[in-house]
């Protein structure tokens, strides 16, 4: 900390002005969430139409679940 303080004290007013001009750039950082939103939309779509295993036989459930999964992956309704 003492080293930083001594470096600042040794700088001229013009050096500090130039340094502050580069630091005060008001660029806003943002995070791209499109991939996350698409993944969540696929999950919501799948679980909104997913078959219930106790209302059909296991084979019917398995085939229907796979068909819905393939449709969701292809992005039919998104």
Q: Which two tokens stand for residue 30?
A: 């943002």
pLDDT tens sequence across 13-47: 888 888 887 776 667 778 889 999 988 988 888 88
Task: Give the contacts of 17 (CB within 8 A, at least 6 positions apart).
Answer: none
Residue of 26, 64, 24, 31 lying closest to 46 (CA atoms)? 64
Q: Is the pTM of this model over 0.75?
A: no
Model confidence at 1, in pLDDT bands (50, 70, 90)?
low
The pLDDT, as a whole number, for residue 36 is 92
- The three-state secondary structure class of 27 is coil
């Amino acid at each position: 900390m003492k080293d930083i303080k001594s470096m600042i004290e040794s700088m001229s007013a013009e050096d500090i002005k130039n340094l502050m001009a580069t630091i005060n750039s008001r660029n806003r950082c943002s995070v791209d969430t499109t991939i996350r939103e698409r993944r969540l939309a696929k999950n919501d779509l799948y679980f909104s139409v997913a078959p219930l295993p106790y209302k059909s036989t296991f084979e019917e459930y398995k085939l229907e679940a796979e068909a819905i999964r393939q449709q969701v992956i292809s992005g039919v309704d998104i």
